[in-house]
Amino acid sequence: MTSGMRVRMAPSPTGDIHIGNARTALMNYLLARQSGGTFILRVEDTDRERSDAQKEAGIYDGLRWLSLDWDEGPNVGGPYGPYRQSERHDVHREAIEALLASDAAYYDYTTAEERAAEREAQIARGQTPRYSGSGRSLTSAQIAERQAAGVVPAVRFASGSGAVGFEDGVFGPLETDASEIEDFVIARGDGTALYNMAVVADDHSMAITHVVRGADHTSNTFRQVLLYRALGWEPPNFAHLPLLLNKRRQKLSKRDGSQWLGEYRAQGYLPEAVVNFMVFLGWSPGDERELFSLDELVDEFSLERVNRADAVYDVQRLDHFNGVWLRRFDMDTLAERALPFARAGGLPVDETQQDYFQQALALEQERISHLTDVPDMMGFFFDKDLDPDVELIRFRRHDRAETAAALKTVEGLVRELPEFSIGAIETMLRGLAERLGWKTGDLFMPIRIAVTGRRATPPLFETMAVLGRERCLVRLQRARAKLTA
Ligand code: GLU
């Protein structure tokens, strides 16, 4: 393991974090923590129109929700700041000037019309359209003429030719020929740097040792290696994480459902489950284990175990992890997570009812798949005016009058039971079924419907014990009244 890695996440401030970037953040975080290194957050906010403080805050929120704390960043500072790309103009400019000075880059005075015409001609010839570098062969007279006409030049990097490659931490040695890479723009007409230029200047000046990001950036990495070379800088180590695809092996799109952290959170997924799910989008432990906490991953994760094969995004897997994590929590933790969802869903859980909430939640723990299930699932525990729908009773072997009479007997027994405990309730109700000569199910279902208002609930005796004697009595009475009305 490398010690003291300096790694970074470099998100554009979009207001939320996409699953692909969250995975990148997670894996960088793990590498930083396990190597005793530094996890840096650099906000790539050069697209000024789309950037604002609120959107940046959305990134912080998402990372904090996942517990991926960063060591350097816009809000915490650090020795390599500033950590917003928009504030690093001078750093970028210096690199651009150096490239211009050494003729590795040039001002391109071709016009948009000329480049469009070139493209069309290439397409007409059946070629892949690519900028030919014609700006390099303009004469000084032509340039002067264009300057006079107000053409604002972009700065392009002259890619040249010859092998360009790097050792990818996941994919092994990768190589292409520089002649395959068109002369790309590194600075706009207004002097600001474009992505490849800014990222190289920033990664270099921030002493980043490992750049770990999605494989959708591999083609950029070749360009970046060329820039490092032209600047005489040592490139960092690169590793690319496998592409994220949907189950049909296509690029993820909106049609594949939620992919943003904020959406997962709102839908009642646990950050633990999201972390567990994300690490398997590329990594595997090499054995059957599938449950990993963030701390465990700090010990276990390695780039060597990241697969080259595309990672398939399957939300059912996330659901699976969510269920497993929900059942793995101790009651205090589960209650702490569930309470905000209960309240947001309208359950009136006040301070005095925390214990009651927790006891009720314990009965539901097996059945919850998302925290958003909580308000509906637990509604009957908190509904003071629960009005059971007696039509849910099927009256197959016993009619309404018989059922009403049985519920009246239950009421009396509930009132008199010395101790309202699970065991006592069970003994009482089984004894009654026997005395009446009813199948237990025929007796228990109307009781269940009376006290909970639904047919599917946690086990009846436990549920009644948690509801308590008073709630059960009121509800049994109401059900009976409706049956005899
Ligand atoms: N802003 C880029 C992105 O979010 C950063 C890519 C990189 O890590 O260099 O994709």
pLDDT of residue 331: 97
- Report H helices in 149-237: 195-205, 218-231
The answer on 291 and 209 residing in a single domain is no
Nearest ligand 1 atom, CA 213? 8
CA distance 227 to 216: 19
pLDDT of residue 46: 79
CA distance 446 to 460: 11
Beta strands in 77-151 (DSSP E): 105-108
Exactly one of 55, 247, 251, 254 is catalytic; name it. 254
Q: Which of 62, 51, 61 is nearest to 13 (CA)?
A: 51
Nearest ligand 1 atom, CA 12? 1
Radius of gyration of the chain (CA): 32
For residue 226, the CA-to-ligand 1 centroid distance in Å is: 18
What does the mean pLDDT of the chain come to?
95
Do β-strands 237-241 and 210-214 pair in parallel, antiparallel, or remain unpaired? parallel
AA identity, residue 9: M
CA distance 225 to 205: 15
Q: Which of 74, 52, 65, 51 is nearest to 22 (CA)?
A: 65
Range of the domain at 341: 331-382
CA nearest ligand 1 atom 10, residue: 11
Residue-wise pLDDT for 445-465, tens only, equals 999 999 999 999 999 999 999
CA distance 194 to 196: 6
For residue 240, the CA-to-ligand 1 centroid distance in Å is: 12
Within 6 A (CB) of ligand 1 lie 10-12, 21, 44, 199, 213, 217
For residue 10, the CA-to-ligand 1 centroid distance in Å is: 5
Please choose from 204, 217, 224 the residue to mutate so as to test ligand 1's pocket, defined by most ligand atoms within 8 A of CB: 217
Residue-wise pLDDT for 51-74, tens only, equals 688 899 999 999 999 999 999 999
Find how far residue 381's CA is from the centre of its chain: 32
CA distance 274 to 264: 8
Structural domain total, the chain: 4
Over 60: is that where the pLDDT of 1 sits? no
For residue 279, the CA-to-ligand 1 centroid distance in Å is: 19
The answer on 107 and 233 residing in a single domain is yes
Residue 114 covered by a domain: yes
Over 80: is that where the pLDDT of 240 sits? yes
Please choose from 12, 227, 241, 260 the residue to mutate so as to test ligand 1's pocket, defined by most ligand atoms within 8 A of CB: 12
The answer on 94 and 237 residing in a single domain is yes
pLDDT of residue 428: 98
CA distance 106 to 103: 6
Nearest ligand 1 atom, CA 211? 8
Residue-wise pLDDT for 327-352, tens only, equals 999 999 999 999 999 999 999 999 99
Q: Is 289 helix (H, G, I), strand (E, B) or coil?
A: coil
Q: Is 138 helix (H, G, I), strand (E, B) or coil?
A: coil
CA nearest ligand 1 atom 6, residue: 10
pLDDT of residue 326: 97
Boundary residue ending a domain (241, 268, 289): 241
Indicate the burial class of 58 (C-beta count within 10 angstroms; 0-12, 13-18, 19 or more).
buried
The answer on 98 and 231 residing in a single domain is yes
For residue 212, the CA-to-ligand 1 centroid distance in Å is: 10
Q: Which residues contact residue 130 at a Cβ distance below 8 angstroms, ignoring those fewer than 6 apart?
A: 122, 182
Residue-wise pLDDT for 22-57, tens only, equals 999 999 999 999 999 999 999 998 776 656 888 999
Nearest ligand 1 atom, CA 220? 9
The answer on 358 and 432 residing in a single domain is no
Q: Is 304 helix (H, G, I), strand (E, B) or coil?
A: helix
Q: Are 295 and 275 in contact (CB under 8 A)?
A: no
For residue 440, the CA-to-ligand 1 centroid distance in Å is: 63
The answer on 450 and 420 residing in a single domain is yes
For residue 42, the CA-to-ligand 1 centroid distance in Å is: 10
Residue 348 covered by a domain: yes
The answer on 357 and 234 residing in a single domain is no
Domain with 264 in it: what CATH number? 1.10.1160.10
Q: Are 173 and 167 in contact (CB under 8 A)?
A: yes
Do β-strands 244-245 and 311-312 pair in parallel, antiparallel, or remain unpaired? parallel
Whose structure tokens read 């959708």? Answer: 216
Helical pair 422-436 and 440-452, crossing angle rounded to 10 deg: 130
Nearest ligand 1 atom, CA 9? 8
* The 38-41 sheet, strands edge to edge: 38-41, 6-9, 210-214, 237-241, 163-168, 172-177
Q: Are 478 and 420 in contact (CB under 8 A)?
A: no
The answer on 417 and 369 residing in a single domain is no
Over 90: is that where the pLDDT of 263 sits? yes
CA nearest ligand 1 atom 3, residue: 11
Domain with 341 in it: what CATH number? 1.10.8
Boundary residue ending a domain (241, 264, 279): 241
Nearest ligand 1 atom, CA 217? 6
Residue 8 covered by a domain: no
Is 254 an annotated catalytic residue? yes
The answer on 231 and 175 residing in a single domain is yes
